[in-house]
Structure 1
Amino acid sequence: MKFEIEKRELLKHINIAQKAISSRTTLPILEGILFEVEDNKLTLKSTDLELGIKTSTDCMVEEEGKIVINSAMIGNIVRKLPDSTIKFNITGENIQIRCANSEFNLIGFDSYDYPPLPNIDIEKKIEIPVEVMKKAIRNTVFAASIDESRPSLTGVMIEVEENYLNFVALDGFRIALMRYDSEIHEDIKEIVPSRSLNELNKIMPEEGDITLSFVKNNIVFDLGDTLIYSRLLDKNFFDYKGIIFSPSTCKVNVIKRDFQDALERASLLAREEKANLVKISITENNIHITSNSEYGNVSENIYCEKDGNDLDIAFNAKYLLDGLKVIDSEECTLNLTDSLKPCIINPVDEENEYLYLVLPVRLGRQ
């Protein structure tokens, strides 16, 4: 097996493949990247058995073949090599790497033992702009649960409903929902692990399209020269629709930046062991935010436009802030009912595209 490739191009694709390498694996071969050369193409494959990556680039192939090389070792070597052509000469499991005046000799693994990536026997496929996928990840994945005892909530549900493609994440305390208006007519309702989406977000370019292919127990994200494979989670997702469409008796319009800044200041005195509690009193044209701890107290007032009843309610400040930080609109609307019912936040400019729901904290328990 012999091939040549430019250092920068090789490093780019090693960095991509390394996203699927787990530091917690007990199988040494999974610490490696499968290098495969044929038809003047270098293909790198990596997997931790839950997330997999296949990425390809052009190279000069003199002799075709396959070899598994330790991911950390090859990544560190290539990063330190000069910006020049790298030549690989591989005999059996012996790997010779030459670049300018440098030469490395490594031991690899037989490719026969490397687990295969899923076969792409496409059942359902959709295509959306990369910017939509990036926004969907940014606006939802933070709300997914980190509790592994409820695995279905540790991901983002992707579902097609009427003329919308929905992305939904929840953890029992809040729900984030982004809706993309589309002409997709596939019957889709699948849950993608948060980690897979976070790694995908690091790999995606800034523009273009991405194809999502749903195969048995897996989803494949197609970026052209790179495919990202992810297992799907159990479909037992929480039925959230009855909550997010409940009526409100208090509707408040507020400048998003003012509300976020006031909450951030108030949260400085909120304590994690007391649910990061902030109290909010909504009266005519005013939101009064307070927080206190053994270190002191803080009081904030910001202007709002209110339609409906006055209301006193309390929240975990972190949960409110998490949702506000991903909203790009200058104004947002708070839809509330009473001190025990959820608050639903919508960006004014994207009211039908994004929704963030957060449950209140019961004051009687504090």
Structure 2
Amino acid sequence: MKFHVNRDVLAEAVAWTARILPSRPTIPVLAGILLDATGEELTMSAFDYEVSARATIEAGVNEPGRALLPGRVLAEITKSLPDRPVEIVADGSEAVLTCGSTEFGLHTMPVEDFPALPQMPPKIGAVGGGVFASAVAQVAPSASRDDTLPMLTGIRMDIEGPNVTMAATDRYRIAARDFLWRPETGDFSAAAMVSARVMVDVARTLRAGEVSISLGDGVAGFESVGRRTTVRLLDEQFIDYRSRLTGDWAIRASVQTAPLVDAIRRVALVAERNTAVRLSFTQGQVLIQAGGGDIGRGAEVIDAELDGDDIQIAFQPQFLLDGLSGLESERVRIGMDSPTRPALITDDADDPSFRYLVMSLRLA
């Protein structure tokens, strides 16, 4: 195998592929990146039996072939190379990387031991990368980090024709985002649970252009601009989140989003671990308070519109900020029933596309 390639293009593609490499591989070859040079392309692949990554870039291929190289070392080397074209020649047990006057010799790993990557399932539709990334960023913070409950570590995707809903929950809050996409067939419907960690990674790295989504045989696939990721699906079992996000609220408040977020962040500086931020809504304003323990206390008042009775309600600060930070509107609507029941945070549209239900905390 022998090829030459642009240094920046190679470094970016290797870094993108290496991101899924396991820190403690069950077998040594899973720590490798497979390089496959053919025609006028170089394809880099990584796989840990759950998630696969494949990036294809243009390359001048003099001798087609394949080589399996230590992935993390290759990523460190390529990002540190001088701004010159890179040539890689693999023959036998060593691959020689040359860039200007810099040369590295890397021991190759047995290509025949590298597992076959899963095939990309059938394409079911496509969505703009910005819309996809925005939706994932809004719902992913609500997914659980507790791997003992796999159902709660994923993002649920419900697809009905041109409508998609992403949802996640960790039992303390539920986030859901609706958006439109372009299905391959107008009457297509499906439900899938995808690891939130993988979805965040996909959204961060595939947001340019359009994202093609594939689904089938227990695998989901995402592809954009020459890069594709596959991931095994989680169990489809999930809560009935839609019923929890609908209904009438006895008390409704409307507040400018940015000032509310800034105020919560400021007063939360004196909130001790696992203590609440209190919001006291009265006609025309909301008082945000935190602290009162060993550190000190903080308070700030901002304008608010209130429809209903005055109410004081408390939340875990970061949970509240996760919901507010997901909004893309200038004003936030907060629906409440009582200080002991969850509150619903939405944007200010008549039919909000983002909904976030968060549990309140008992006031001391």
TM category (shorter chain) comes to over 0.9
CA contact (8 A) 1:276 1:318 kept: no
Deviates more, 1:299-308 or 1:142-151: 299-308
Structure 1 residue 205: deviation in Å? 4.2
Find the aligned partners of 1:23 and 1:183 in 2 and give their Cα distance. Answer: 37
After superposition, the CA RMSD in angstroms is 1.8
* Equivalent residue number for residue 176 of structure 1: 175
Query: Does the 8 A contact of 1:129 with 1:209 survive in 2?
Result: yes
Indicate the SS of the match to 1:236: coil
Conserved? CA contact 1:212–1:220, under 8 Å = yes
Question: Where does residue 10 of structure 2 map in the other structure?
Answer: 10
Q: Is the 8 A contact 1:33 1:70 kept in 2?
A: yes
Q: Distance in 2 between matches of 1:39 and 1:229?
A: 24
What residue identity is the alignment partner of 1:38?
T
Question: Do the aligned partners of residues 325 and 11 (structure 1) sit closer, same or farther apart at CA in structure 2, a change above 3 Å counting?
Answer: same
Map residues 122-141 of structure 1 onto 2, 5 A cutoff: 122=122, 125-141=124-140
Question: Could you tell me how far 1:351 is from its partner in structure 2?
Answer: 4.6
Q: Deviations over 1:85-140 (max 9, x none)?
A: 22222222221222322332221112111112111241x61111111111011111
Provide the residue aligned with 1:202 in structure 2: 204
Larger mean Cα displacement after TM superposition, 180-189 or 22-31: 180-189
Matched with 1:219 is 220
* Counterpart for residue 108 of structure 2: 108
Matches within 5 A, 1:129-278: 129-161=128-160, 163-182=162-181, 184=183, 185-206=187-208, 208-272=209-273, 275-278=274-277
Instruction: Using the TM superposition, give the Cα deviation of residue 189 of structure 1 relative to its aligned residue in structure 2, in angstroms.
Output: 0.9
1:47, distance to aligned residue in structure 2 (A): 1.6
Contact 2:129 2:203 (8 Å CA) reproduced: no
| Partner AA of 2:202 in structure 1 | L
Question: What is the one-letter code of the residue matched to 1:187?
Answer: S
SS for the counterpart of 2:115 is coil
Q: Which amino acid aligns with 1:199?
A: D
In structure 1, stretches of 5+ residues that fail to align are none
Structure 1 residues 305 and 148, CA, compared in 2 at 3 Å: closer, same or farther? same
Say whether the 8 Å CA contact 1:141–1:156 is kept in structure 2. Answer: yes
* Cross-structure match for 2:120: 120
Q: Is the 8 A contact 1:267 1:276 kept in 2?
A: no
- TM (norm. structure 2) is 0.93
How far apart are residue 222 of structure 1 and its match? 1.2
Counterpart of 1:330 in structure 2 is 330
1:239-292 C-alpha deviation (Å, 9 max, x unpaired): 2122111220001111112222222222122222xx331222222222222222
Indicate how the Cα distance of structure 1 residues 183 and 309 shifts in structure 2: closer, same or farther if over 3 A, else same.
farther
| Contact in 1 for aligned 2:332/2:346 (Cα 8 Å) | yes
Shift of 1:62: 2.1
- Is there any run of 5+ residues in structure 2 with no aligned partner, and where? none
Give the AA of the match of 1:343.
A
CA separation in 2, counterparts of 1:264 and 1:307? 25
Runs of 4+ in 1 over 4 A off after TM superposition: none
- Percent of paired sites with the same residue: 26
Aligned to 1:82, the other structure's residue is in SS state coil
Aligned residues: 360
Structure 1 counterpart of 2:57:
57
Amino acid at match of 1:195: R
For 2:285 and 2:207, the matched residues in 1 are separated by: 43
- Deviation at residue 162 of structure 1 after TM alignment: 6.4
1:279 counterpart SS class: strand
Match of 1:304 in 2: 304
* Residue in structure 2 matched with residue 319 of structure 1 by the alignment: 319
Moved more, 55-64 or 330-339: 55-64
C-alpha distance in 2, partners of 1:82/1:286?
58
Per-residue deviation at 1:201? Answer: 2.5
- Tell me the distance in 2 between the aligned counterparts of 1:40 and 1:289: 60
- 3-state secondary structure, aligned to 2:262: helix
Summarize deviations over 1:340-363 as a string: whole Å, max 9, x none: 221111111585211111110123
